[in-house]
A = this chain, B = another copy of it.
């Protein structure tokens, strides 16, 4: 299933071209054809092979899921694997999904391929429909517009992620629980996942920025440098989050140990006060015939008073030790 946009200065924008029309427009250097495949069937593969003349390995990369951004240089086109970040607001709340987005950039065409719906592509299509000039300055600038819109879509997600990290940091010192630990663990794995997606994309774009790749006009490279800067900034943000999370993991053990100390202080306190008192009571509970105190009129009151004194002394002692 594919969707076509074609722009020619002479005839303006046309959409949904047939295979033969695409083949025709490709012959005209002034045309720019953008074909967006959202799911590939055998007809599509025929089209890609016969009209766009793609290498079998490129088509294999289109079909198979990839886990790593890359750029490959072919004779007639540049092949790019990039990733878009989509927040899964429907299903698993707060979980981040990375969606693959492949590009073939030719002299006067751009092919995009993706398995899942990608928000930033929709945005670009709507902008084109609203006569935005992003399709009018050549295939490389169209690529730039899509990538720029992809990378921009990272920022709100990363910001939301940072907020999760901040909330976790607060909770860590306010009321840490097993749930907080689980959260730190999950955030740690998420952040690792983000880093592995953003860093290599920056590497790929840096190849474009260094001007080592064809099909990108030299004066337009500065625009890709803008994308590169954004990716590096994102990488920094994510790196900062990772360091905070790692620190939180380390701090958690200490926080829990601190809590244990508090619990043990309570236990020791109660034991240290109660045990001697119970011992005294037990002593005067012995059944010896000859225990003079038992006969004394004020024996009982004296014992209660001594117990009171012991309790007060203990409390003062623990306050001095800063346990209270």
Binding site for B on A (CB under 8 A): 55, 57, 60, 66-68, 70, 72, 169, 173, 175, 177-178, 181-182, 184-185, 188-189, 192-193, 196, 222-223, 225-226, 229, 232-233, 236-237, 239-240, 243-244, 247-261, 263-268, 270-272, 274-279, 281-291, 293-300, 303-304, 322
Closest to A277 in B: B279
27 A/B residue pairs, CB under 8 Å, sorted by A:
A60-B226, A67-B237, A173-B181, A196-B239, A249-B254, A252-B254, A253-B257, A256-B257, A256-B261, A257-B257, A259-B261, A266-B268, A267-B272, A274-B276, A275-B278, A281-B282, A281-B286, A284-B286, A284-B287, A286-B287, A286-B303, A287-B294, A288-B293, A288-B294, A288-B303, A289-B295, A290-B299
Q: What B residues does A322 contact at CB under 8 A?
A: 175
Closest to A251 in B: B185
Contact B188 A247 (CB under 8 A): yes
Q: What B residues does A189 contact at CB under 8 A?
A: 243-244, 247
A171 nearest CB across to chain B (Å): 13
Contact A255 B181 (CB under 8 A): yes
Contact B277 A268 (CB under 8 A): no
Q: What B residues does A296 contact at CB under 8 A?
A: 288-290
8 nearest interchain CB pairs? Answer: A281-B282, A274-B275, A284-B286, A288-B300, A267-B268, A285-B285, A256-B257, A281-B283
Closest to A274 in B: B275
With known contacts A178-B255, A255-B178, A278–B282 Cβ distance under 8 A = yes
Given the complex of chains A and B, what is the CA–CA distance between A177 and B193 in angstroms? 28
Given the complex of chains A and B, what is the CA–CA distance between A256 and B294 in angstroms? 47
Q: Name A196's contact: one of B240, B272, B278 (CB within 8 Å).
A: B240
With known contacts A70-B229, A192-B243, A243-B192, A286–B285 Cβ distance under 8 A = yes
Contact A299 B288 (CB under 8 A): yes
With known contacts A178-B173, A300-B290, A300-B291, A247–B247 Cβ distance under 8 A = no
